[in-house]
Structure 1
Amino acid sequence: MTGNKKLIVIVGPTAVGKTAVAIDVAKHFKTEIISADSRQLFRELSIGTAKPTPAELATVPHHFINTHSIHETYDAAKFGKDALGLIQELFERHDHLVLCGGSGLYVKAVCEGFDDIPPIPGEIRDTLEKEYAANGIGALQARLKRLDPDHFEKIDQQNTHRLIRALEVILGTGKPITSFQRRNKLQHAFSIVKVGLELSREELYRRIDARMDCMIAEGLFMEAEGLYAFRDHNALQTVGYQEIFDFMNGSYDQAEAIRLLKRNSRRYAKRQMTWFKHDAEIVWMNPANIEGIIGLASS
């Protein structure tokens, strides 16, 4: 691989317009897109993850979309290794590649890498899962907020798998999970340009609410109903499905489920922005400024 290869990283909160921008950039450079989304890689999840449409997928080659099953275990460290292997292969025929997604850990795994986390005794996870079964997600949230408040503020707080993973690491090693992110970044044979997409809070929240209305019209509740039997799987411990599962359990009515879907999606977007704003290498731009984004990627 020659040294003039460039990875264009496009990040930002949910509903900001990452997919459309990534496709425009990829078309300009006649290249391919690597998705860095921890949910879009699952075949069984479609409407609730806002995957690119079939037409969009046909426009530009995408990777890590519909590649795994919710019955598989997959995490950021695994994604980092797989994605870097693919990137090396794709750079054999492209000078530019696009990495696009809102999953901060997945992006970080590619750009910076992770140190290996020591094996955690299985009984720690067993204890945490029993605690969750007995006391609900609130107990996990409160415990992680107390033990690792910085990480708690950045992750999807409705994702039981993420909460348990962070807790088992800090309980098993005495160190927060973020301490295993590399102190010395991976040295790549390619350059990285990071573009963050940003809108006013009012516009972003309007888009989030409108997109949720579209998802519901497209059959989100029906999709969740088909996944109800797998509601305890790690991949489904996330905004967009848990609210509907609780509605199906009789915890509240459909109107309340819709209110929570929108509220929790807005909160998730806020946490995404908190995560990405900590990265000083990201250049923030309006998603409508395609020429500016392409210009930055070309520089």
Structure 2
Amino acid sequence: MKIYKKNLCKSFLIFLLGPTASGKSTLAMELRKYLPVELISVDSALIYRHMNIGTAKPNKLQLIQHPHRLINIKDPSQYYSVSEFRYDVLREINDILKLGKIPLLVGGTMFYYHILLNGISQLPKSNLELKKKILRENNYNHNYSLHKYLSKIDIISSKNIHPNDVQRLLRALEVCLITGKKFSQLKKNILFRLPYKTIQFVRVLKKKKLYHNIENRLGNMLDQGFEMEVMGLFNRGDLNIHLPSIRCIGYRHMWFYLSGLISYGDMIKQIIVSTKQLVKKQITWLKTWNNIYLLKDTKMELIIEKILNVIYKEDIMYG
């Protein structure tokens, strides 16, 4: 197989999208053998330190051999806004381009890709104290209280944000309270569209295979000590179920189990159900995506060959 290490135009980006458990990370690391790429994680869970097993984060050896930018940049106690992601990812992209390499963005947080491609509204900076106040004053004891609060002041935003999406609900409420305007109105003023050419690949697996991978992966996580990992977070004393980090799939369910609210068996069932629901949501997002190349092959060699051929056909090559 031809290795395109030279004669590449460096002013473009590669996106590698796909649903959870589709093998994106493995493929991205393998591509480094054939292309002068540097990896950037596009995953809202991999940003957190001390959350390795349950997020299916590449292991220490893999990260040494294949460094990923925007992994392990936040403590689980911290918030991370979409605007922060955009700022960070553009900084990393520029740095990689200056090195004469190609940024390869890989991950499953579709909303992050969406704001890169389509722009982001100019909104006020995040205010952590205000977010804490919103949670405190609304007696946030279940998933729907924030959603109900938002529906009273911005019904359009409440219809567009899932009741379980605590981070986005908090951001919408925060913006409404800071500006005195509706979040849905401010989001119409789109700025900052991505200024680079992008070649987008989507890893595709049959749903049956994805679900099989999800169940196998959870079994492996439990064998690797996922319960002990969450117990370490649980016992810290400064974390709670309302934080975006602990709301991540798997972590919130294990948290409920450690709190005595659900049984071990129910915890496992709920993780599988929630992960499958995430996959359905990711696939729905991808059905609306434009200008993508589908990677349906099962053999790694064939997938990589298609990627390299696409890059060549996109006329990225010189000469």
Kindly indicate whether residue 126 of structure 2 is the aligned counterpart of residue 116 of structure 1: no
| Structure having the larger proportion of residues in helix | 1
Contact 1:125–1:164 (CA under 8 A) maintained in structure 2 = no
Number of the residue aligned with 1:131: 138
Kindly indicate whether residue 75 of structure 2 is the aligned counterpart of residue 61 of structure 1: no
Q: Which residues in structure 2 correspond to 1:284-299 (within 5 Å)?
A: 284-286=294-296, 288=298, 289-298=303-312, 299=314
CA distance in 2, matches of 1:294, 1:66: 30
Secondary structure of 1:80's aligned partner: helix
Structure with max Cα Rg? 2
Q: Shift of the alpha carbon at 1:30? A: 2.6
Contact 1:47–1:219 (CA under 8 A) maintained in structure 2 = yes
Q: Deviations over 1:98-122 (max 9, x none)?
A: 0111112322343343122146897
AA partner of residue 231 (structure 1): N
- TM-score under structure 2 length normalisation: 0.80
Contact 1:169–1:175 (CA under 8 A) maintained in structure 2 = yes
Secondary structure of 2:90's aligned partner: helix
Secondary structure of 1:32's aligned partner: strand
Number of the residue aligned with 2:160: 151
Kindly indicate whether residue 168 of structure 2 is the aligned counterpart of residue 162 of structure 1: yes
Contact 1:113–1:182 (CA under 8 A) maintained in structure 2 = no
AA partner of residue 247 (structure 1): Y
Q: Shift of the alpha carbon at 1:69? A: 1.7
Give structure 2 stretches of 5+ with no counterpart: 1-7, 315-319
Kindly indicate whether residue 260 of structure 2 is the aligned counterpart of residue 254 of structure 1: no
Contact 2:81–2:126 (CA under 8 A) maintained in structure 1 = no
CA distance in 1, matches of 2:25, 2:188: 27
AA partner of residue 50 (structure 1): A
Contact 1:16–1:198 (CA under 8 A) maintained in structure 2 = yes
The equivalent position to 1:237 in structure 2, one of 247, 253, 258, is: 247
The equivalent position to 1:216 in structure 2, one of 211, 222, 227, is: 222
- TM-score under structure 1 length normalisation: 0.85
CA distance in 2, matches of 1:142, 1:198: 36
CA distance in 2, matches of 1:10, 1:150: 29
CA distance in 2, matches of 1:181, 1:19: 34
CA distance in 1, matches of 2:147, 2:256: 18
AA partner of residue 257 (structure 2): F
CA distance in 1, matches of 2:291, 2:192: 13
CA distance in 1, matches of 2:10, 2:36: 16
The CA RMSD over aligned residues, in Å, is 2.9
Q: Shift of the alpha carbon at 1:268? A: 1.3
Deviates more, 1:213-222 or 1:69-78: 69-78
Identity of aligned residues (%): 26
